[in-house]
A and B are shown apart, each in its own frame.
Chain A
Amino acid sequence: MGVADRWKHLHKALSKSGPFSDPDWIPGEETIKSLEESKILVIGAGGLGCEILKNLALSGFKDIHVIDMDTIDISNLNRQFLFRQSDIGKPKAEVAAAFVEKRVKGVKITPFVGKIQDKDEDYYMQFKIIVCGLDSIEARRWINSTLVGMVDMDNPESLKPLIDGGTEGFKGQARVILPSLTSCIECQLDMHAPRPAVPLCTIATIPRQPQHCIEWAHQIAWQDKRKDDAFDSDDMEHIGWVYNAALERAKEFNISGVTFQMAQGVVKNIIPAIASTNAVIAAATTSEALKIATSCNPFLENYMMYAGEEGVYTYTFEAEKKPDCPVCGSLARKITVNADATLGEFIETLGERPEAQLKKPSLRTEEKTLYQRFPPQLEEQTRDNLKLKLRDLIVTGQEVAVSDPAYTIDFRFQLIFG
């Protein structure tokens, strides 16, 4: 396909208004230019990430960044199509970036090999849109709270739309989050079904399935026999030990079906990834990115679920913002304080401030418990802080989180020394 042909359809879509496009939208050159200049970040270069990177590059994004901390494993090759046998052991972000750059001329992909937590707000501030293809809830919660925390009402640029894709076997979801404006990942936390767990007593006493035997070897036998070794699910010797222990236990209870692969799956909590699910979800996230970056059509509001076990089913709904969400329920409010006031005096002013009126607050920073009213042991341990000056406890600009039993929501304040 010629280079000019490749963009023909995209440019057509971006040069004509459609029935759903915003009446204020101006199709044409300017829109195409703004798409090409949109710096976009992809978090994760695994099953979803490979698809997303390929799709974004083919949708006309020209400045793409990608973060992933992992290296390529042989088991990735069946669906993570940007990787080849000879890439095993190399960082996913780098190999994926190089592959897509080579195949789609004119696109620049900047890889970063590391954790999302290694980067700070300045880094995330440079992007227009962030797309996640992650498998961990913890990482999602981190990026979500970071993006919500970056929102500065006086600076519209600080609002970074977050498009989150996720898959598990035949199921998946895509969602669009406008940090602080719409329902965030933390608001929706209880929608994630916790991983199904078997009661510990079943594992310990009456195993019925091969998986129970593996869980027993992993959780009970390991502790009993190899307490001093920290279990590492990537260490083949450790998996092998668990497998053999499980095999013996299975024999004892007349259970068949324990395999090495199953041991690895249970221990690492692997749910087989389905390439087509990844493709469907990645397509959904990238089309949202294209719509948000160009305004050519209204974007998803705000949650699309997909179920492919029996047929192909999707359902879209608007998840609501939780008023008492610990992340987006209350944005950090800046307040000016006297650095020489004691913590006790500051707490008193919290009761007087019209925006707070807190009666029995407990307070902390990320690294310090400033004052905790209950339980009594911790109250006693933190009581002395009340007499200390603020300047001896925190630095200017630091965030303090406040909980008060009188309120269902928590408060965050950014204390600025006046």
Chain B
Amino acid sequence: MLKIWSMQQQAENAEGAAGKKKKKVTAAQLRVQRDLQELTLGSTMKMSFPDKDDILNFTLTIEPDEGMYKGGSFHFTFAVNQNFPHDPPKVKCTQKIYHPNIDLEGNVCLNILREDWKPVLNLNAVIVGMQFLFLEPNASDPLNKEAAEDLRQNREVFKRNIRSSMGGGSVRGVQFDKVLR
């Protein structure tokens, strides 16, 4: 490297102000731009961007067409930080819903959003995982203990609770948001 330096004695600042580069697109933005382009959304998912110029913050709507949550419309906010893909996206449900893996504050228990996140995973993997939570809620990773208990004890009661919660009714004294389409 020194050879390169010694070749060149004076620094060339001729470019001056005219050649000055503007802010560069960040690695996180570039990765999200690519991830978005490679999404497979199908008919059950929609995205929206409150600010079209900010692709790091958006919402995902999942409308399951089968399973126990069929007929519902579930909204999630995605917040991707500049440390993506080293850090996973932060995902939250904006509604109060009855689901064993989503708590009343909207926190989501999905392994790849936390302990199993790796930079090689992409937004599509997260979205597929989210969709799967509505097809196969699981009682073994509970975030809403009561809902998980219901699922484990009596699947029929659990299904009935889902229906009434999705209609805006209450389950065990907790009032849920109406999420029916």
The residues of A with any CB-CB pair to B shorter than 8 Å are 24, 121-122, 125, 128, 137-138, 141, 145-146, 149, 154-157, 159, 161, 178, 186, 189-190, 192, 194, 196-201, 204-205, 219-220, 223-224, 292, 294-295, 326-327, 332, 360, 362, 364-369, 372-378, 381-382, 395, 397-401, 403, 405, 410, 412, 414
Knowing A205-B143, A375-B41, A378-B47 touch, does A199 contact B114 (C-beta < 8 A)? yes
Known contacts A141-B82, A205-B145; 16 further A-B pairs (Cβ under 8 A): A122-B20, A137-B83, A138-B82, A145-B26, A157-B8, A194-B87, A199-B115, A200-B143, A201-B141, A204-B107, A326-B30, A364-B55, A372-B37, A374-B37, A377-B49, A403-B34
- A326 to B49 CA separation, bound complex (whole angstroms): 24
Q: Determine which of B29, B46, B103 lies in contact with A366 in the assembled complex, contact meaning CB atoms within 8 Å.
A: B29
Residues of chain A with a CB closer than 8 A to B1's CB:
159, 161, 178, 292
Contact with A along B13-49 (1 / 0, CB 8 A): 0000011111111110111011011110100001111
Most A C-beta atoms less than 10 A away, residue of B19, B31, B36, B118: B36
A401 touches B82 (CB 8 A): no
B111 touches A199 (CB 8 A): yes
Residues of chain A with a CB closer than 8 A to B143's CB:
200-201, 204-205
Task: Provide the main secondary structure of the chain B interface.
Answer: loop
The residues of B with any CB-CB pair to A shorter than 8 Å are 1-5, 7-8, 11-12, 18-27, 29-31, 33-34, 36-39, 41, 46-49, 52-55, 82-83, 85-87, 101, 103, 105, 107-109, 111, 114-115, 117-120, 141-143, 145, 148
Q: Determine which of B47, B109, B119 lies in contact with A204 in the assembled complex, contact meaning CB atoms within 8 Å.
A: B109
- A161 to B34 CA separation, bound complex (whole angstroms): 29
Tell me the minimal C-beta distance from A408 to chain B in angstroms.
Answer: 9
B114 touches A368 (CB 8 A): no
A190 touches B118 (CB 8 A): yes
Most B C-beta atoms less than 10 A away, residue of A155, A156, A294, A398: A156
20 contacts between A and B (CB under 8 A): A141-B82, A145-B27, A157-B8, A197-B114, A197-B115, A204-B109, A204-B143, A205-B148, A332-B21, A366-B26, A367-B23, A369-B52, A375-B36, A378-B36, A378-B55, A381-B52, A395-B22, A397-B18, A410-B30, A410-B34
- A374 to B142 CA separation, bound complex (whole angstroms): 34
Most A C-beta atoms less than 10 A away, residue of B7, B34, B38: B34
Task: Provide the main secondary structure of the chain A interface.
Answer: mixed
- A223 to B21 CA separation, bound complex (whole angstroms): 42
Tell me the minimal C-beta distance from A25 to chain B in angstroms.
Answer: 8
Residues of chain B with a CB closer than 8 A to A157's CB:
5, 8, 11-12
